[in-house]
Structure 1
Amino acid sequence: MSVKPVVLPAPGGRGEDLQVRVSAPVSGRDLPVIVFSHGFGWSMDGYAPLTDHWAAHGFVVVQPTHLDSRTLSLPAEDPRTPQIWRHRIGDITQVLDGLSALEGSVPGLAGRVDHTRVAVAGHSWGAQTVSTLLGARVIGTDGMPGESMSDPRVKAGVLLALTGLGDDLTPFAAEHFPFMRPSFDAMTTPALVVAGDKDQSRLSTRGPDWFTDPYTHSPAPKSLLTLLGAEHSLGGIPGHQAAETTDENPARVALIQQLTTAFLRSALLGDDADWKAAAAALEEDPQPLGTLRSK
């Protein structure tokens, strides 16, 4: 079941109340939570291939609509625009702070949510957003990592098409997106990184391997799923009919559904059986859709 919009009051500076979608199983108790951050321009209504799947497999999924959403039509000259990346992080924190209120907004959900088992997930800019709650930091103009925005309430993360190191930005990206200079050295929270080996970003001077940096440059425990032939939409995770998906592949999306669910069950519930089985099946597949490695 799904309820939207649930509205959380705007904190100082945001200017717009935070609209949220909450999806949950109709039965079960002690349900773990996934807070999902959308990519640029999307909203709480996107990413149904993932969020619906997770909710159907025992998770409460919370999707905030960030200020960059096309549904809000924030003009480029708006004074909040340069700080949207910070407002995005604040949105996730506000969701975590308001979990009890969100739980009470869905009929029949109150008392069934485990607030101690929380994961964050995101795609593209959304992955950059939630990575900070896992321990990633933004390198400042002085070349030093900025403040830590990690959150001890977050126990695991799924980072889909997360951009890599800022040293490899194009001049345009370096000028317009200064927050895209991450340090992954302190990203200690367990995470699954998902990258496409055909994901060629116009923001980077490197090839698709740029999207493997979050795995390469962060400490264990981490896993990296590299999808063969996948571009930035990873086969179509933004939506079943998303026009921006240039690499539509239902089998690839199904693999992401399976592996992310198994990873989250392992990380949040200690249930390793599905994760081990999925990893073994991928390794033994004579025509695999991707490769998986862990550290």
Structure 2
Amino acid sequence: MNPALGTRPVVPVLSVAPVTIPAPGRVVDLELRVSAPVTGSSQPVVLLSHNHGPSNLSSWRGYGPLVEVLAACGFVVVQPTHLDSKVLGLREANVAEAPLYWRSRATDLSYVIDNLDTIEAAVPTLDKRIDRKRIAAVGHSAGGHTVSLLLGRRLNDPEDGSVVDLSDTRVRAGVILSGLGRGGDALSEYARENYPFLQTSDFSTMTTPALVVAGDQEAERTNVVGASWPEDPYTLSPAPKALLTVFGGEHSLGGIVGYGAAETTDEDRDRVAAVGAIVGAYLLTTLGVDDRAWEMAKGELESSPEPQGRVVDK
């Protein structure tokens, strides 16, 4: 049995895209994919925030390997396309938030929660099946930074120095995959020039429970620290938190964006399966769906003759 599922049976999944949510004041309306089990009631929600990658998979079109696992676990997975997605062609726009649209990314996720009624109505068989009290956010790379803002991480606006708080208490748990760490002297010159919002970062206010996932072979040009940088959301934030260190994992953690994608430098299906199992189990237990799932998944990981990673909790 997949350790992410605990005692829950695997069910078929329905995926619908694009679902378009009117968004007055946004440059374009919000497009997203919704993937959900075809049966069941009171389904918890996962908001999945994509990376700032070089392919069209950095949108609702990506993350199939991870979405398959989470939807099979019983989650309704909602994948918005952020304004920095390559498919929208807005990265070079002459606006203050370009190219990453860091603030808009976070407000996208909150806007999805605001519009769950519309999403339910747009997806066949989903009406009145979403549990609005069990919402989690999962993000990869830049998406991990987005999720950390909803969980309580704060920063100073590079334009005026004001403290930015985009936390959303409706999000009860989070997962940060190959996320962005602290600023200051940890940043590379490239990051300081292109992503000034990363200069300041306060993880002390990130109090929402979260799982941080980091590959031990991480090597991103945004920092000068190395593989420990994406562990900062765990190290520098208060409990309760968990950290999964993925053995041999690089930035794409084996291919969570998509097997063979431009973002995937360490393609490994077993690695992706292990990451998906741990993420699913963590969310099932943290959201109160299956109290046994997290301990079962950790036990499966630790007892494997060739473990894919190591988990620590605080």
TM range (shorter): over 0.9
Give the counterpart of 2:47 among 18, 29, 35. Answer: 35
Q: Give the one of 104, 114, 139 matched to 1:87.
A: 104
Contact persistence 2:156–2:164 (CA under 8 A)? no
Shift of 1:53: 1.6
Pair 1:102-2:115 in alignment: no
The structural deviation recorded for 1:7 is 1.0
Equivalences for residues 223-242 of structure 1 within 5 A: 223-242=242-261
Q: 2:149 aligns with which of 132, 140, 146?
A: 132
1:149 corresponds to: 166
CA distance in 2, matches of 1:237, 1:122: 11
Check conservation: 1:64, 1:92, Cα contact below 8 A.
yes
Select which of 43, 50, 60 maps to 2:76.
60
Partner of 1:279: 298
For 2:92, the equivalent position in structure 1 comes to 76
Q: Does residue 121 of the first structure (1) align with residue 138 of the second (2)?
A: yes
- Structure 1 residue 3, shift from structure 2 partner: 1.2
When residues 142 and 104 of structure 1 are mapped into structure 2, their CA distance, relative to the original with a 3 A threshold, is: closer
Relative contact order higher in (CA < 8 Å, ≥ 6 apart): 2
Alignment partner of 1:169 is 2:187: yes
Deviations 1:170-225 (A, max 9, x none): 12211220122321101000000000010011111111011111100000000000
Identity %: 49
Would the aligned equivalents of 1:145 and 1:183 in 2 still touch at CA under 8 Å? no
CA–CA distance in structure 1, aligned partners of residues 92 and 42 of structure 2 = 42
Gaps of 5+ in 1: none
Match of 1:6 in 2: 19
SS of the counterpart of 1:66? coil
- Please tell me whether the aligned partners of residues 262 and 272 of structure 1 are also in contact (alpha carbons under 8 angstroms): no
Preserved CA contact (<8 Å) 1:233 1:247 = yes
Shifted more, 58-67 versus 177-186: the winner is: 177-186
Of 176, 186, 192, the match for 1:159: 176
Normalising by structure 1, we get a TM-score of: 0.95
Q: Cα distance, 1:149 vs. partner? A: 1.2
Deviates more, 1:42-51 or 1:273-282: 273-282
Query: Considering only aligned residues, what root-mean-square deviation do their CA atoms show, in Å?
Result: 1.8
- Partner Cα separation in structure 1 for residue 197 and residue 247 of structure 2: 29
> Could you state the TM-score of these two structures normalised by the residue count of structure 2?
0.89
Kindly indicate whether the alpha-carbon contact (under 8 Å) linking 1:156 and 1:190 is maintained by their aligned counterparts in 2: yes
Structure 2: which 5+ runs fail to align? Answer: 1-13
Which residue is 2:4 aligned to? none
CA deviation string 1:156-175 (max 9, x = no partner)? 00110011101200122112
Structure 2: how far apart are the matches of 1:206 and 1:18?
35
Matches of 2:233 and 2:161 in 1, distance apart?
A: 18
Q: Deviation string for 1:99-126 (max 9, x for gaps)?
A: 1110111111111111110000010001
Q: Is the 8 A contact 2:158 2:197 kept in 1?
A: no
User: Is residue 51 from structure 1 mapped to residue 67 from structure 2 by the alignment?
Assistant: yes
Aligned partners of 1:83 and 1:161: how far apart in 2?
16
> What letter corresponds to residue 310 of structure 2 in structure 1?
T
